[in-house]
Amino acid sequence: MTRCENVWVAAEDASDYAALVAVARDLGARVSAVWMGDEQGLDAVSTSGAGAVIHLEGGVLIEDGAPVLAQLAAERTPDALIVAPTKRMRLVGACVAARMRACVISDATSLDVDEEGALRAERMVYGGGAVTVERAVGAFVVAVPCAALLASKAAERADASGAAGADAPCAVETFAVQPGSSGITLVERRAREVDAVNLSAARNIVSVGRGFAAEEDLALAYGLARAVDAEVGCTRPVAEGSKWMARERYIGVSGAMLTPNLFIAVGVSGQVQHMVGATGAKVVVAINKDKGAPVFKQADFGIVGDLYDVVPRLVAELER
Amino acid sequence: MNTVACYKVVADAQDIVANDDRTLRFDKASYVLGEYDLNAIEEAVRVASDTQGRAVLLSAGDARLSDSKLRKAALSRGATEQFCVVDEGMARADALQTAAVLAAALQRIGFDLAFFGEGSADAYGQQTGALVGALLDVTVVNAVSAVRVDGGAVVVERSLEGEVEVLELAAPAVISVTSDANLPRIPQLKDILAAGKKPSTTWTVDELGAACAPCVEVASMLAPQSVARKQVIYEGDVDEAVRSLAADIKAAK
């Protein structure tokens, strides 16, 4: 890739466009927004700062629009497509990439253009155990910024625009989508019960590891969280292995780039795949009975002791 | 229904050693089946068995794929046969190159449903299944947490960020399952012994005519930048330690 001048952005939620446009503009690109949703969303998308809107209309599922979008990309040869980090948009992005004989750079923690004009991204691999710099070397690439990158752009933009409000509406081109062209028929759609926790916005975090022997013992962690006004998160085995907590609460590569003031790791061994989530914490505290646990090397303060003994005493002391 | 489960052999992330200059050493690493791929294998085997079909396995990688322990680890999970695309270049292949190879192999094998995990355990780009389906121009869906085959109809549940979709898929289809889709079995000794007798076919990328140009190159791979921490650790008298730590926490709050 030797240039990044013409970039398309796409999301399923109209409110993601301002940040996506900002990400694309930072690359120095002209930006076109691709919108595959309803008319109401179209108004928001056309005032998001993009230079033009490509509206794909008529699909039952957003996925129905993927073949039309891929065809348009093949005809108009944008340099990149940047999509919001949702599961649906990852699929759409991959469908466009396949048509363009390209791949997807997923969950980029940063995106820029290198000296040769190629799109360059940093991302985590091996569950946070390593960081790669990846460069697009083909004529086209799809990139997915990580949620934290998008959130930081949204915040920047909100600060900058202040009371100025939305941009003037831009030109909209509309293309028809054949419903059902994805081969997928929607039978039913229902809301999913999600644990509405937002760890990236939490001022303090108590993180729970496998040092807890039983689910009911998590009450200790919640008690500590109350005492320090913290949200509770966990390691991946606690969320996926024991299923004691919702996946939204697991701290690791996908939820990386947390920036709490205080991060208290309780019964956490300190594997890099979890602790990568604490990198941005101002102060890290560890409680673990194993003196040799790697978590102590990554902590500012800690106690070597049984959490079942230490945590209740600590809560009492904090509440004194 | 005849199913294929795709899997990747990866370095165990826990065995990767970071040097002081942040470069990484893989020489102590053991190689394993990608943990998310176990869900793909389990689902392919279950669906085939429920529908009187056949489940086979497909992987692409370097010579490690031919390691008999890794072959048995894959074939001990219920599939009847295995296909491997072995090529030294696969270790550096990007997702498109990998997808092109898998798509060509799937075309040769033939399938009603092809299963992938939610992402590879190393790069976790969550795109290979989607790329393969799109390259083959068949129905493709990700984030699938349940699969039901009713007569000829394939109905799946898809868990998105805020909603669950129930979708009917036109076969053939490529499906990426989440780790909630099932609980992968733990193979028993007899399964591992039987796995050694199952057929295994090896192809090269050239034999499949599936070579394509790279799209993304990895310019560097380093350990994450570590943050210097104070490492003030209290031991011994618990009351005193707790008092000290509480004071530190209050100061930080």
Q: What is the pLDDT of residues A180-226, one digit of tens each?
A: 999 999 999 999 877 777 788 889 999 999 999 999 999 999 999 99
Torsion of CA B66, B72, B77, B78, to 10 degrees: 90
Per CB-CB distance under 8 Å, the chain B contacts of A231 are none
Q: What percentage of chain A exceeds 90 in pLDDT? A: 75
* Interface contact A138-B212, CB threshold 8 A: no
Query: What pTM value is reported for the model?
Result: 0.92
The average confidence (pLDDT) of chain B is: 96
> Mean of the pLDDT values across residues B60-65?
96
CA–CA gap between residue A205 and residue B155 (Å, rounded): 40
Rounded to the nearest angstrom, the minimum Cα separation between A171 and chain B is 30
Span A6-176: which CATH code? 3.40.50.620
* Interface contact B13-A192, CB threshold 8 A: no
A163 pLDDT higher than 80: no
Range of lowest pLDDT (A230-244, A283-297, B21-35, B118-132): A230-244
> Mean of the pLDDT values across residues A171-179?
95
* Interface contact B249-A91, CB threshold 8 A: no
Per CB-CB distance under 8 Å, the chain A contacts of B121 are 126-127
B216-222 sheet: strands from edge to edge: A110-113, A119-125, A130-136, B216-222
Q: Does A228 touch chain B (CB under 8 A)?
A: yes
Phi-psi region of B148 (alpha: psi -120 to 50; beta: other; left: phi over 0): beta
The pLDDT assigned to A161 comes to 66
- Residue appearing with tokens 């791979």: B221
The pLDDT assigned to A199 comes to 85
Q: How confident is the model at residue B82 (pLDDT cuts 50, 70, 90)?
A: very high
CA–CA gap between residue A310 and residue A257 (Å, rounded): 28
* Interface contact B227-A279, CB threshold 8 A: yes
Q: How confident is the model at residue A293 (pLDDT cuts 50, 70, 90)?
A: very high
The pLDDT tens digits of the residues spanning A40-73 come to 999 999 999 999 999 999 989 999 999 999 999 9
Q: B37 phi and psi, to 5 degrees?
A: -70, -20
Rounded to the nearest angstrom, the minimum Cα separation between A190 and chain B is 5
Rounded to the nearest angstrom, the minimum Cα separation between B50 and chain A is 22
> Mean of the pLDDT values across residues B155-178?
96
Fold of B3-218: Rossmann fold (3.40.50)
A251 pLDDT higher than 90: no
Rounded to the nearest angstrom, the minimum Cα separation between A36 and chain B is 17
Assign B89 to helix, strand or coil: helix
Of B130, B179, B213, the CB nearest to A138: B213
Q: Of A275, A269, A263, which Cα lies nearest the Cα of A293?
A: A269
Q: What is the dihedral sign for C-alpha A170, A175, A178, A182?
A: negative
* Interface contact A302-B232, CB threshold 8 A: yes
If contacts are CB pairs under 8 Å, which of residues 244-283 in chain A contact chain B? 253, 261-262, 264, 271-273, 276, 279, 282-283
Distances (CA, A) of A232 to A208, A209, A227, A313, A318: 7, 11, 12, 19, 17
CA–CA gap between residue A205 and residue A229 (Å, rounded): 8
Fold of A199-319: Rossmann fold (3.40.50)
- Which one of A61, A92, A104, A122 makes the best mutation probe of the B interface by having the most chain B beta carbons within 10 Å? A104
Q: B75 phi and psi, to 5 degrees?
A: -75, -10
A275 vs B6, more confident: B6
Q: Does B39 touch chain A (CB under 8 A)?
A: no
* Interface contact A189-B249, CB threshold 8 A: no
Helix B95-109 crosses helix B128-136 at what angle (to 10 degrees)? Answer: 50
* Interface contact B232-A106, CB threshold 8 A: no
Q: How confident is the model at residue A239 (pLDDT cuts 50, 70, 90)?
A: confident
Q: How confident is the model at residue A257 (pLDDT cuts 50, 70, 90)?
A: low
Q: Does A69 touch chain B (CB under 8 A)?
A: no
What residue spans define the domains of chain A?
6-176, 199-319
Q: How confident is the model at residue A166 (pLDDT cuts 50, 70, 90)?
A: low
* A258 in Cβ contact with A251 (< 8 Å): yes
Radius of gyration of chain A (CA): 22
* Interface contacts A/B by beta carbons within 8 Å: 258
- Can you read off the two tokens belonging to residue B239? 């009351």
* A254 in Cβ contact with A270 (< 8 Å): no
The residue type at A164: A
A161 vs A92, more confident: A92
